[in-house]
Amino acid sequence: MKTTRKNFLRTSAALATSLAIPSFSFANLGSSSNLKVNGSLKNRFDPWIEVLPESIRYNAGVLHNLSGKKPVIAVIKNNGYGLGDINAAKILDDMPEIAGFAAVKTDVCISVKEAGIKKPILHMGMATDADFYDLASNNVQLSIFDSRMRTLLESISKRTKRPVDTHLYIDTGMSRMGIPYHRAMPWIEDIAKSKSINILGSFMGFTEDPEFDKEQLKRLQNLNAKAASKKINMGRLHAASSNAVYHFPEASLDMIRPGISLYGAYPTYPKKEEKIAPLKVGYRLNARVVRVEQLRTGDSVSYGGSYVAKSPVWIAALPIGHADGYLRKATKGAKVLVNGNLYPVIGYVSASHTIIELGNEPKVKVGDLATLVGPDHPEIHPSHLSTITGTSVYDILMHMSARLPKIVL
């Protein structure tokens, strides 16, 4: 028989009936299925992220205190380090410790404003003239760093009928963005002459090489002193990311600008910061068990069969994999928390599935909640997973798929 679309549908419908797939109801599962959320996620197997506002706010307080109570510009770039940029901004917006937010992409800055965030947001990237206009007219503060900007900002100011709020982006040695510090002075003098430009601040990024960081800081401070001697105010200085907040207190300047540690991860490996001021992990990466099965001696697991059962053993499958942003290198010792117990990841983590080893008994069942990353046990903290798998902790957060549903608890 020729396979037309119509008879394909007819035969597959018949097949489904004959397979008699049992329907599954979370209602039968008891407390492990009780998500504190409304709506559709309650009845799904698909993975999701739980964002933990109290922990993120707690971490902001820790960083603020560590810096000697400097105002915090919260970095929410890269989708709020995986947790959602608007989520992060909403969580932090009303804290008196938070001076504002910073991101790199035009659309992020504008959508944060459109979401009703009250504190200022700083755009730390490049934009077209049209995008700079959109940013300024949405009250986004602009980073400026090149010689064409005075003319552009004057024309923007004419259209918006107010001076443009800016921060001078100084390259003190990162060689990534900003005007090189050694040729910044004449440019700053020129910018400072314009009545259309408000210089609210000046900033730089560290290379996070402890010795060179000191030299970079000196370069910014010298420039600021030179400007002051010419009666130019470079505004509030800021440079410190999470690493500097912990390890370079002199760099706290007028404001700090941390990202990763707001979300509960330590910037260095192996997390020296935990002893200085511990943080709370700001999210959970969750999925539900979709299959529980016993392997016979000699049965293998996943692509390449890298795991072979030495004796009969129970395993469970989770519907989350590296395409969702879970660690490809999880088999190097990562564990997953189910019903209060840790189970090791075995075999190759595939795009959409991860397998865990349960041991001699099927201690978990289909539908049980599995937490792959979260605050609930030290072995599933992102910084621990980073250490044991040799994965950057930034990747553990930022590489979570933006498609994962997020629930702000």
Ligand X SMILES: Cc1ncc(COP(=O)(O)O)c(C=O)c1O
- Our CB check for ligand X shows the closer of 103 and 164 to be 103
Q: Among residues 105, 130, 129, which one has the least CA distance to residue 121?
A: 105
Provide the minimum distance between the beta carbon of 60 and ligand X in the complex, in angstroms, as a whole number.
12
Q: Does 67 bind ligand X (CB under 6 A)?
A: no
Instruction: Tell me if 178 contacts ligand X by CB under 6 A.
Output: no
C-alpha span between 107 and 119 (Å, rounded) = 17
- Can residue 79 be called a binding residue for ligand X (CB under 6 A)? no
**Spatial distance between the Cα atoms of 153 and 151, rounded to a whole number of angstroms:** 6
Closer to ligand X by CB, 45 or 212: give it: 212
CB of 98 to ligand X, least distance (A): 14
Q: What is the pattern of x (binds ligand X, CB under 6 A) and - over residues 8-27?
A: --------------------
Judged by CB, which is closer to ligand X: 73, or 227? 73
Partners of 179 in beta bridges: 170
Query: Of the candidates 267, 319, 347, 374, which one interacts with ligand X according to CB under 6 A?
Result: 267
User: What is the widest separation between alpha-carbon atoms in the chain?
Assistant: 89
Shortest Cβ distance from residue 149 to ligand X (Å)? 18
Site string for ligand X, 120-159 (x = CB under 6 A): ----x-----------------------------------
Rounded CA-CA distance 358/314 in Å is 5
Cβ closest to ligand X, residue 261 vs residue 383:
261
Give min distance, CB of 124 to ligand X, in A: 5
CA-to-CA dists, residue 276 to 62, 167, 279, 362, 389, angstroms = 10, 31, 10, 41, 24
Of 38, 48, 39, nearest to 283 (Cα)?
48
- Rounded Cα distance between 382 and 396, Å, is 7
Residue 364 touching ligand X (CB under 6 A): no
Establish if 252 lies at the interface with ligand X (CB under 6 A). Answer: no
Instruction: Return the number of other C-beta atoms located less than 10 Å from residue 87's C-beta.
Output: 21
**Which stretch in 13-21, 240-248, 316-324, 326-334 sits in contact with ligand X by CB under 6 A?**
240-248
Asked if 89 interacts with ligand X (CB under 6 A), we say no
Residue 251 CB, nearest approach to ligand X (Å): 12
Cβ burial, residue 232 (10 Å; 0-12/13-18/19+): middle
In degrees and rounded to multiples of 5, residue 238 shows phi and psi of -145, 140
- Judged by CB under 6 A, does residue 72 bind ligand X? no
Residues 6 or more apart in contact with residue 151 via CB below 8 angstroms: none
DSSP state, residue 380? G
* Nearest alpha-carbon partner for 268 in 276, 22, 98: 276
Residue 100 in contact with ligand X, rule: CB under 6 A:
no
- Residues numbered 192-231 forming contacts with ligand X, rule: CB under 6 A: 205
| 243 or 383: CB nearest ligand X | 243
Residue 257, interface with ligand X (CB under 6 A)?
Answer: yes
Smallest distance from ligand X to CB 210, Å: 15
Shortest spacing between CB 121 and ligand X, in angstroms = 13
Name the residue nearer to ligand X (CB basis): 249 or 305. 249
Task: Find the binder of ligand X among 242, 331, 371, 389 (CB under 6 A).
Answer: 242
Count of residues near ligand X by CB under 6 A: 12
Residue from 200, 260, 309, 320 touching ligand X (CB under 6 A): that is 260
Collect all residues with Cβ–Cβ distance below 8 Å to 113 and sequence separation of at least 6: 121, 138, 139, 140
Selected from 125, 259, 321, 347, the binder of ligand X by CB under 6 A is 259
Residue with tokens 């407390």: 31
Angstrom distance (rounded) from CA 220 to CA 344: 48
Residue 75 engages ligand X in binding (rule: CB under 6 A)? yes
Residue 54 has phi, psi (to 5 degrees) of: -60, -35
Distance (Å, rounded) from C-alpha 153 to C-alpha 155? 5
Pairing status of strand 341-346 against strand 354-359: antiparallel
Q: How far is the CB of 204 from ligand X (least distance, A)?
A: 8
Q: Is 264 in the site for ligand X (CB under 6 A)?
A: no
Q: Which residues bind ligand X (CB under 6 A)?
A: 75, 124, 205, 241-243, 257-261, 267
